Amino acid sequence: MKKTLVMVLAALCVAACQQEPRKMDSPPAPEAPPAAAEQAAPAAAHADTDVIGMLLKSELATGLDPEMAFVPEDNPVTPAKVELGRLLYFDARTSRDGTVSCATCHHPDTGWTDKGPTSTGIGGQKGTRRAPPSFNRLFSTLQFWDGRAASVEEQAKGPIENPIEHGMTHADLEARFSKIPEYGPLFEKAFGTSEVTIDRFAKAVASFERTIISGNSPFDKWQAGDESAVSEEAKRGHQVYLAEGRCAICHSGANFTNEQFHNLGVGMNKEKPDLGRYEVTKAEKDKGAFKTPTLRNLSSRAPYMHDGSEPTLESVVELYNRGGNKNDHLDPLITPLNLTEQQKSDLIAFMKSLDGPSTKVDIPDVFPGGWKAGMPVE
């Protein structure tokens, strides 16, 4: 039987309230970014204890680091915001023609990302980058592959005005949803009045996304003391990850990312390559650099890299093993690894041991106002 996210969170709380948070080994925590001013984010408070706090005490959060949870002070997570955000996340009326929602490119059935190498927007238009996953945004500040958004709230606004993605203006969205009477009480419950604004839209969607977490993988269970949770191959692969593979330098911390940007040479051989972080900072060192993605749930997230150019985990390992793709801005950390075939296989087994469940979400069939996907929009 379907349950709303809030109901699921409540159920998790019942199971978790009597448990102490588990202590477990994890990869090194991410280092502080070298240029704090460049990567500044809004002031943050610890996760809201009514929603996020109980989620972080649940079994689902096994292996995650509560200390890394990030919630802006001006947007505490509440059940009302989460419920409103859930509806808005799946509602394709957030796009000009009613065909694209947040979930179109970040769907729970495809690892909270997209099925194709790059995202598809309104009118079947293709973007140039792969959609990053929506899970564990609670532990992240800078968003998008190039880090141009300083928060999940800011990220939520971006696709609305992108002509390839949702193809609307913020004013268009406000006007459309203001005309749907059934949304009014939901905004009022979440924010105190029924007014629809782009900032409220973003805060609701961000609140929902912060409740989408994924932990409790076989690896997490092994680190918590269950020796039978992972295979011997995966255990050997963990050592490759830490040592010969040098993966933990960038894929660090409980979410297996240092949240920083690196050039691996992906796509740099194109006539007009995507320059990634450089387009934000204009710093020469950032040319072709993209954000380090989490290693969690890789099995459900193929293809890989910012442009979806690597079809399998095997091809990703080969990319790293040869030292990336040579270019003038290749990160100095990326050098040939010379792994054996056994080490490659073990490393992939380790990465697959990071596959775990994520927050269960009720996907709406009918939206406020009685609208269903495929119906015309005004």
| Active-site amino acid positions | 165
d(CA 261, CA 63): 24
d(CA 161, CA 171): 10
CB 73 within 8 A of CB 47: no
Six token digits for residue 285: 């060192």
d(CA 161, CA 138): 24
CB 348 within 8 A of CB 237: yes
CB 133 within 8 A of CB 114: no
d(CA 226, CA 228): 5
CB-side neighbour CA atoms (13 Å) of 300: 20
Residue 345 Cα to chain centre, angstroms:
26
Residue 289: Cβ-neighbour burial (10 angstroms; 0-12, 13-18, 19+): buried
Angle (CA) 269-248-290 rounded to 5° is: 30
Identify the three-state secondary structure at position 179: coil
Residue 100: Cβ-neighbour burial (10 angstroms; 0-12, 13-18, 19+): buried
d(CA 113, CA 214): 14
Six token digits for residue 69: 């949870």
d(CA 352, CA 301): 11
Q: Look up residue 65 and give its amino acid.
A: D
CB 295 within 8 A of CB 319: no
Six token digits for residue 204: 């609701």
